[in-house]
Amino acid sequence: MTKLTTTTNLTNPDAVYAAIIDAHRDLTDEQSAAFNARMVLLLANHIGDDDIVLEALNAAQA
């Protein structure tokens, strides 16, 4: 059974996408990598469901 939402789930996907890109604007590659790692960890915890996180890890291999 899949639990990971893969259909559009944000009210304003363009704005969120832009915000993510924006957050990296002045960062070096190294800072960006660190930033992304913090994001992944924050979001994984927020999801709060181990199975969904594992599914997302799979989906991201695509």
Partner 1 sequence: MSEPEFKALYQYGYARSPDQDAPERPHHPVVVVGAGPVGLATAIDLAQRGHPVVVLDDNDKISEGSRAICFSKRALEVCDTLGVGEKMVQKGVTWNIGKVFQGEDQIYAFDLLPEDGHKRPAFINLQQYYVEAFLVERAGALANLDLRWRNELCAVAPGEDLAVLTIDTPDGRYEVSADWVVACDGARSPLRTMLGQEFVGKVFEDRFLIADVKMKASFPTERWFWFDPPFHQGQSTLLHKQPDDVWRIDFQLGRDADSALEKRPDRVMPRLKAMLGENTGVALEWVSVYTFQCKRMAEFVHGRIIFAGDAAHQVSPFGARGANSGFEDAHNLAWKLDALINGKAGPQIIAFYGEERERAADDNIGNSTRATDFISPKSGMALTFRNATLDLARHFDFAKAMVNSGRLSKPTPYGPGGLNTPDEDDWANSVTPGSPPVDAPLENDAGERIWLLDALGADFTLVCHGCDVKAAMPADMRIVTIGRNVTDSLGLFAQRYDTRPGSCLLFRPDQYLCARWRHFDRDKVIAAQQRALGFG
Minimum Å gap between C-beta 37 and partner 1 is: 4
| Cα separation, 43 vs 28, whole angstroms | 22
Q: Is 38 in the site for partner 1 (CB under 8 A)?
A: yes
Residues 41, 54, 57, 59: which binds partner 1 (CB under 8 A)?
A: 41
Q: What is the DSSP letter of 6?
A: -
| Cα separation, 4 vs 54, whole angstroms | 9
Q: Is 34 in the site for partner 1 (CB under 8 A)?
A: yes
Q: Residue numbers of the site for partner 1 (CB under 8 A)? A: 33-34, 37-38, 40-42, 45
